[in-house]
Structure 1
Amino acid sequence: MIVRDLMTADPAVIRPEATLDEALDLMEELDVRHLPVMSDGALLGVVSDRDLLATAGALAFRPGKESEAATLADRLGAELTTVSSDDSVVTAAVDLVLGRIGCLPVVDDGRLVGILTEFDLARAYSDACRCSPELSDLDPRVEAEMSANPVTIAPDETLATAAQRLEELGVRHLPVVDDGALVGILSDRDLRKAAARDLAETRAVSAAMTKRPLTVDRDRKLSVATILMHEAKISSLPVVENGRLVGILTLTDLLDHCMNALREPDAPRR
C-alpha cells in the first residue's frame, strides 16, 4: 500500500499572512485539523489546530488578544517533513510516529498533491485487519495497547486546574470521573473552545467537558476501537470494564501499533 491510496488529494491551503484566528475558523468550517501554508505555489509549512491553540495561549486562558495579531508566518518552523505519493504507507507511519506529528504533506516534483493524516493511517490499519485474516495476530485486544489507570479529574474542579494538569502530564485528554463513574472527557481542544466562549478559568470542568463520551470495552479488538475513533473523528477513547474506567486509548497508541501491523508480510518488524 502506498501513500496515494490513503491521502486526501488537493487539500485546502492557507496563506502565511492569515491570522491564527482565521486559520482556526477555516479549520472549523472545513472540519480539518491541519492546513498546509502556501505562498506563490510554494509549500512553507503546515499548521495544526493544536499548534495554533498552544500559541494562542488557550491552555493558559489568554484568548483572543495574541491570536488576533499573530500571523501564520510568525509561527512556521524551519523543519518540514514530507512524503511522496509513491512512498509506502509504512514509511509514512514511521515518520508520523517517530516525529510525533499529526500529518504529512504529500509532495511530488516540488508540488503539493495531498495530505496524509494520522486518521488516514488508522483507517488503513482497520481496513487491513478486516480484509486480511492473516493479520489477526496483529489485532490485539484494546487492553494490550491502552494506558491503564489514567490520571483523571473531577467535574467540579476548575478549568485552570485541568489546564495545569494536562501541561504537567504532557497529555491531551483527561477522563472526568465522579464518585468512580466516568461522566465525561476533557481535551486540550475543549479548553480552547472554553476560552473562545470566554468561560473563566474558575469555571468547573463540567462546563467544558464532553459529556457521555464514546467508550470502548477493554476486551474489544484494537481494530474496532480504530473504527470508532475514525468515524467519530476523535483521538482518544476511555476504556471501560463493566462501565468503570480502567484505561485510555489514544490515536498515538494506535499508530505505535500500526507501524508493525501495516508492514508488508516479509518486511522486518521494529
Structure 2
Amino acid sequence: MTLVRKTISGRVKVAVGGFSLIELLVVAAVLFVVLGGVVSYITVALQRSKTEQTKVDLTQEGRAFVDEFERDIHQAGYPNCRMINTGSNCSIHFNDHTMAVGLVSVSSTQIGFEGDVDGDGNVDSVWYRLVDSAGNFPPTGTCPCTIQRAQVNKVDSPPLSQIPLPPLFSQQLQEVVNSGVPAAGSLYGGGLPIAGNVLFGSGSMTNTAYYAAVTTFKDFPVFSAYDESGNIVDLPRVITTAADQPVLSCNSPTAPCIKSVRLTINLLGNGASGYDPKTGVRPVVTLVGNGRIDN
C-alpha cells in the first residue's frame, strides 16, 4: 500500500492511496492457488464418490440376486419321493407334479431344478440361464451378459419338457462379464469377449485386453458344482442321461453326486454411467454364493 504525502496551505497531510498493481497481482496469484487446490480437492472427492456409489449399487444388486438364488436352490428336491416312499426308485416319480426331482440340468451357463420355492405346497420348475449381450442362449456373442430366471408350476410330464419358453424368462441381473465354459477337470476357461473399450489413455484398449490381467475375470463359470467331498463335478449334467442321473438325484449310495452349487458373478459398471471419471475404467464387483442341496 502506498502512502502519499501532500502539502496544502503550509500544512502536511498524509493520504492513504490504493494497492499497487504488483500487490494486486500477488494477492490474485495467492487466491488462485488456494481456490485451485480447493476446487481440485472437491473434484476428486466427487469423482471418488461417484465411483464408490457405482460399486455400492453393483454390490446391492448382485447381493439381492445371490440371496434369491440361494433361497431357491435350498428348496431343490423338496418335497421328493424319498419322504413318502422310503427305498423306492425315485425315477418312476419324475413325471409326478407333486414330487420334486431336484436338480434337472446343470451346466456352466444354465441350471434347472424342481422344488417348492414359494412354500405354497406346489412344486415349481425353476430355471436360471446366462444370455449374451444380444439375448442369445446358449451365449455365443459377447458380454456384458444377463442372467435370466423363469419359474412355472410343475405338471405331470418329464422334467426337461418343462423348461419355460423364452418369454417367461425375466431379466434378473445385468452387466455380468464372466461366462466361462471350462473343459473337463478345469476350474475356468472359454469365456466370451467383453464388448467395448476402456476410456483411460487413448481409449483404444478393449475391455477384453484390459481385464485379461485377471485370468478368471471373464473365464470363470457362472455355475459350478461340487460333490459331498468338495470335489468339482464336470459339467454339463442332464437328468435324462443314465450316467448323469445318480450325479444329479443322489439316488445311488456309491456314486458321488452334486451336493452344492456355486454361483459366481463378476459385475462391470454400466457402460454409459459406470465409468470412473478419474481413470476411465469401469468398476468391478465380484460376488459368490453357495447353495447346498439338502433334499
TM-score by length of structure 2 reads 0.22
Larger Rg: 2
Greater length-normalized contact order (CA 8 Å, ≥ 6 residues apart): 1
